[in-house]
Structure 1
Amino acid sequence: MSSEERVLKIAQHPSPALHALIADRDSMSSHLLADALVRNRKCDATAIHPSDLMEVLAVREIDLVVIGAEINSDASGGFDLADTVCRTYPDLMIVLLLNETTHEAVVNAFRSGARGVFSRQKPIGEFLDCIEHVSKGYIWAGREETTSLLEAFRNIPAPSVLTADNALPLTKREFEVVQCAAKGKTNKTIASELGLSEHTVKNYLFRAFDKLGVSSRVELLFYLTIRGHTFGAVKPEADLRFE
């Protein structure tokens, strides 16, 4: 084959513009989404089991990953997987699929590194639009998801209420509970890790909310973020401030 013929063949069969992996909650859903991307967006999209995702990313050049938030019967498994992917491959685009677009789910999705958040209740056409926008470098959130974020921002206490030394007005135990809550852990998980009852965890959270002037975990997360408190890599205890 001559060089002219090779150039012509490449021009007739160009490489897909986007290489994507779909790691959803079950094989059927993953394959349906991958097929839709291949047919409608001419992507190189492959369905994959969530447990194999990191191994495949290590050996293939991938541009975008779609992850189901609820995988392996774990309500937060997809968030954890997205966070691992984001930390390992920070330039990789991530879209998270949500069963329910609650305030906490939306915020946790973006906090896990997602550049797009998509509700399963929406039609496949909107999913394709989401992928196209995210692949171009845009952030995607539907109307309900955007409303959740805006409401959370509106309810953040004004910066004027912050203390001059940026210390949190919490006891050490309250801070430990808040620290776990900010990581997206449930009251049951927090109770197990700290050796407390779920009722006691709820009481600590209510007291912390009251002291900080917030009313939900979402507002708590934003409040801590604007103060520079991040819990992906927690500071040594000696650096934390308590009253």
Structure 2
Amino acid sequence: MSGRIRVLVAEDDDLLRSSLCELVSSDPALVLVGEARDGEDAIEAVHRLRPDIVLMDIRMPVLDGLAATRAVCTSASTARVLILTTFDVDEYVYEALRAGASGFLLKNASPYEIFRAIRTVHEGHALLSPEVTGRVIAEFAARRSRQEPALARFARLTDRERDVVAAIAEGMSNEEIAGALFLSRATVKTYLSRLFDKVGVRDRTQLVILAYESGFVDTLRS
């Protein structure tokens, strides 16, 4: 199992959960460590089975996926949550990401898209369904009110680190950032790790949310 990505499937629909489990098991780079039928089961399974990735449904009984995601992402667990839902609704996307999810895909995504999403999120990148990415960023900008305490968390950044945050906020990949800023991809990764520590976030998704909600993106554009 060494090197394989450990995946937990949390989905209340028996047929869909079974299909997702079979899909995960079909990829030799992944290992299915367990499944959960509701949010409470998912939280317990995360602590017991220590997955790398949780495929999390939003609407589940007992405890919904948003609350379960929030619990997982504020715990000591290093698991990253990838939301799977049938609901292409901005409110769900926004709240799932604020809860700590690293990615968001619709349930009609192809097996290739799901496999790619798992790998992308496992590598520490953000992943949103292309249909909703633009609207989510617009939602951040429209909904946030300037938060001075959060903005202060960006005060210690160097000019180059500010450039990297600006690129991430525009949705650039590591490779695109490297090209735009004339850096190596390894250097970009180093900058990202340093940014996460300085600002106090766990991944680039949370960095983007904080940058928009605090008003830091506005300072970059002024």
Report if the CA contact (8 A) 2:4-2:30 is conserved: yes
In 1, Cα distance between equivalents of 2:140 and 2:45: 37
Structure 1 length as normaliser, TM-score?
Answer: 0.55
> Which runs of no fewer than 5 residues in structure 1 stay unpaired?
1-13, 164-220, 229-243
Are 1:108 and 2:82 an aligned pair?
no
- 1:61 is aligned with what amino acid? R
CA distance in 2, matches of 1:66, 1:148: 22
| Structure with larger RCO (C-alpha < 8 A, sep 6+) | 2
1:47 aligned partner: 35
Give the counterpart letter for 1:65 in structure 2: V
Superposition misfits of 4+ residues, deviation over 4 angstroms: 156-159
| Equivalent residues of 1:115, 1:139 under 8 A apart | yes
Cα displacement (A) at 1:132:
1.3
Aligned: 1:86 with 2:73: yes
Q: Which residue of 2 aligns with 1:31?
A: 18
Amino acid in structure 2 at the alignment position of 1:88: S
1:226: which partner in 2? Answer: 214
Cα separation, 2, equivalents of 1:118 and 1:145: 9
Q: 2:57 aligns with which of 39, 45, 68?
A: 68
Once the two structures are TM-superposed, the CA of residue 153 in structure 1 deviates from its matched residue by 4.2
Give how far 1:227 is off: 6.9
What secondary structure does 2:7 align onto? strand
User: What 5-or-longer segments of structure 2 have no aligned partner?
Assistant: 149-208, 217-222
In 1, are the aligned partners of 2:12 and 2:36 still within 8 Å (CA)?
Answer: no
TM-score (norm: length of structure 2) = 0.59
1:127-206 equivalences in 2 (<5 Å): 127-155=114-142
Across the aligned residues of Structure 1 and Structure 2, the Cα RMSD in angstroms comes to 3.1
SS of structure 2 residue aligned to 1:137: coil
CA distance in 1, matches of 2:142, 2:22: 41
Change (3 A) 1:142 1:54: closer
Q: Contact conserved, 2:8 with 2:53, CA < 8 A, in 1?
A: yes
114, 120, 126: which one aligns with 2:113? 126
Deviation at residue 90 of structure 1 after TM alignment: 4.9
What percent identity do the matched residue pairs reach? 18
| CA distance in structure 2 between the partners assigned to 1:101 and 1:94 by the alignment | 18
